Structure 1
Amino acid sequence: MTEEIYLPQAHLIYNANFLDTLFSEKLFQQLYTETNWIQEPIKIFGKEMMQPRLTHLFGERSYSYSTIIMNPEPFPEMLQQLKNNLENFTKSTFNVCLANLYRDGQDSMGWHSDDEKELGENPTIASISLGGERMFHLQHKTKKELKQKFVLAPGSLLIMAGETQHFWKHQLPKTKKQVAPRINLTFRQILD
């Protein structure tokens, strides 16, 4: 079931069962075992540290964020199939997929917005969750009291579109709970 999440200055759509269970589990296993996952250093507040997650880029264009430049590998068949389905569903075009592997509850991603110049003014980010469930947080950039938290289920789709990246930041926080490995696939359109 697809639901709109109504927040000021944001356009969010969540579908908890976008992928059927069999496809979701098969894609997770394929990506988990066959992807050349890497862990790169990132600068946070002027201090260099290793990213608390593993990453890989699939697609047609290089992508850079923070101080990292990633070069893509072509979409494997199952990921290409998923990309085609997402493009039909969202009526958007995607040319890269940033894959993130969160190995356990200590892997995380801090507060940020996907607002790099090469994504354009109002990017559509289509985020697919595979594997373990994790909590996801949103917070308005200037009205700190505006917050949203929800669990991203395996096989779910979260779309962040419109002005969301201008006015909101998001994170996947650490947790002390025992959680299964999770892969997050974020489909984006890199512009010229």
Structure 2
Amino acid sequence: MALTQIPLPGARIGFDPHWLPPDQADALLEALLRDVPWEVHRIRLFGREHASPRLSCWIGDADARYRYSGTLFEPRPWPRALEPVRERLAETLQVGGDNVFNSVLANRYRDGRDAMGWHSDDEAELGSEPLIGSLSLGATRRFLLRHRSEPSRRLALELPHGSLLVMSGPTQLHYRHALPRTRRPVGERVNLTFRRIVAGECGDTGRGSRR
């Protein structure tokens, strides 16, 4: 099934709310909660170190080192449950060879107090127009995009269990995105953002700070 393209000026957004069937999404969520070595990532903002308001794990091939907000992350090995997901995602997006996904950032939002602040995935090692495949598991949360210089250009999406959101082209250049806190009672959510790290480009632009 092809992704639905969501019109947003200066961006390229694809969305499939039912990309992963419910039984597969359930099994994957259970495996990730059990097998991923979750930890609190510490990042540097405005010269001070902070604990991220969520649990995370940087996963990838051995050379997929990633630096953001002053911290260098060495990849953890791929859990067995993620290998078929990576392969299916590559088939869906028709990527292979030098463009195949070699890493994924896993974020675990334990309840509505866990969140992700405004940022762009624009670090140098992701390339000039990165392809980001974002798979959501568990509780539905609201995802926001906002244009860097024209705040009236914005988009809000509800990301349900098993949904796939794809950002590509100039999206990261023109837009920031966030997963805000909510006072509503919500269950646990895991988000997987698959990406391609370009070997030898690991640096810290300081632009893509995660809050």
TM-score (norm 1): 0.97
SS in 2 for 1:148: strand
Aligned to 2:49: 48
Cα displacement string for residues 128-187 of structure 1 (whole angstroms, at most 9, x for unaligned residues): 000111000000000111111010011000000000000000000000111111000000
Residue 24 of structure 1 pairs with residue 31 of structure 2:
no
**Is there any run of 5+ residues in structure 2 with no aligned partner, and where?**
200-211
- Aligned partner of 1:48: which letter? E
- Aligned partner of 2:68: which letter? Y
Distance 2:70 2:38 in 1: 18
Aligned to 1:176: 183
State which of 105, 108, 113 in structure 2 corresponds to 1:98: 105
**Is there any run of 5+ residues in structure 1 with no aligned partner, and where?**
none
Contact 2:13 2:165 in 1 (8 A): yes
- Aligned partner of 2:40: which letter? Q
Deviation at 1:91, TM superposition (A): 1.8
Aligned to 2:83: 80
- Aligned partner of 1:49: which letter? H
Q: Tell me the C-alpha RMSD between the 2 structures.
A: 1.1
Cα displacement string for residues 87-129 of structure 1 (whole angstroms, at most 9, x for unaligned residues): 0111231000110001110100100000000000100000000
Residue 116 of structure 1 pairs with residue 157 of structure 2:
no
Greater strand share, 1 or 2?
A: 1
- Aligned partner of 2:191: which letter? N
Deviation at 1:43, TM superposition (A): 2.1
Deviation at 1:66, TM superposition (A): 1.1
State which of 67, 70, 75 in structure 1 corresponds to 2:70: 67
Contact 2:131 2:169 in 1 (8 A): yes
| Divergent runs of 4+, >3 A | none
Distance 1:97 1:40 in 2: 15
TM-score (norm 2): 0.88
SS in 1 for 2:14: strand
Number of residues paired by the alignment?
A: 192
Aligned to 2:202: none
Deviation at 1:70, TM superposition (A): 1.5
